[in-house]
Chains A and B, each alone.
Chain A
Amino acid sequence: KPTSMNAFELISRSQSFNLENLFEK
């Protein structure tokens, strides 16, 4: 149920946090 989502949990899934992309050769 969408309304039971945790807002912080949701935003922590932003692709901006995939910092391992910085390490791709």
Chain B
Amino acid sequence: MGCYCSKPEKTPGYEDPVVLAAETPFTVSEVEALYELFKKLSSSIYDDGLIHKEEFQLALFRNQNKKNLFADRIFDLFDVKRNGVIDFGEFVRSLGFFHPNAPVEDKIAFAFRLYDLRQTGFIEREELKEMVLALLHESDLLLSDDVVEAIVDKTFSDADKKGDGRIDQQEWKEYVLKHPTLIKNMTLPYLKDITLAFPSFVMSSEVED
């Protein structure tokens, strides 16, 4: 006979903060604080306890319809199960890469997956150009095609040490270690102590460290 233990109702995809804290740079209290944030994000449009792409875009841009290549890629990487939504466990584990204390190797690998648009295991020249054009478009910057080609060529030849027309993970790692500012976008200082940055979340935190 089974034993039914009554617990407060949690959203689908909810995971034990102790487990998530053990797997990520977050403390248990910080995971609890992230849950408060997650609840808010995941109920902004659809009240189903999961973050849909429109909810992600709404939080990021204050506009649920804003299309952006990089936001799409970040969402897709957060959506580990590839089911079109981000659950709580995916949210915490993915944000963990952006924690200041996350290993640099992990940040480098995450950035590689982000920029490997077609998931071929390589960053291709065409992908790099596509990302540069997307950035120029989102920033309302106009550069001639010749200038864009020159920027892409120069960067690509610096990173593609083997000269085979694609950047592999090893080349990417070496390139980033030489140019560490390239992964500054992989660190969110806010995550260092989210319970201090968002004290209101602590009020409803269930777990004390």
Residues of B with Cβ closer than 8 Å to A? 37, 41, 56, 59-62, 68-71, 73-74, 95, 98, 115, 128, 131-132, 134-135, 138-139, 143, 147, 150-152, 154-156, 159, 175, 179, 181-185, 188, 190, 194, 197-198, 200
- Say whether A14 contacts B70, CB under 8 Å: yes
Complex CA–CA separation, A5 to B156 (angstroms): 12
Select which of A5, A12, A15, A19 is within 8 A of B98 by beta carbon.
Answer: A19
Given contacts A2-B143, A5-B151, A7-B152, contact A19 B138 (CB under 8 A): no
Q: In the complex, which of the residues A2, A6, A8 has the most CB atoms of chain B within 10 Å of its own CB atom? A: A8
- Say whether A12 contacts B184, CB under 8 Å: yes
Instruction: Provide 10 A-B residue pairs closer than 8 Å at the C-beta atoms, listed in order of the A residue.
Output: A2-B147, A7-B132, A8-B175, A9-B181, A10-B132, A10-B151, A15-B60, A20-B188, A22-B37, A22-B56
Select which of A3, A12, A23 is within 8 A of B151 by beta carbon.
Answer: A3
Select which of B61, B115, B181, B197 is within 8 A of A15 by beta carbon.
Answer: B61
Q: How far is the CB of A22 from chain B (nearest CB, A)?
A: 5
Which B residues are CB-close (under 8 A) to A19? 60, 74, 95, 98, 188
- Say whether A22 contacts B135, CB under 8 Å: no
Q: How far is the CB of A6 from chain B (nearest CB, A)?
A: 5
Given contacts A11-B135, A14-B135, A23-B190, contact A6 B60 (CB under 8 A): no
Complex CA–CA separation, A24 to B62 (angstroms): 10
Which B residues are CB-close (under 8 A) to A7? 128, 131-132, 151-152, 154-156
Which B residues are CB-close (under 8 A) to A24? 59
- Say whether A23 contacts B197, CB under 8 Å: yes
- Say whether A8 contacts B198, CB under 8 Å: no
Complex CA–CA separation, A11 to B41 (angstroms): 26
Which A residues are CB-close (under 8 A) to B182? 6, 8-9, 12
Which B residues are CB-close (under 8 A) to A3? 147, 150-151, 154
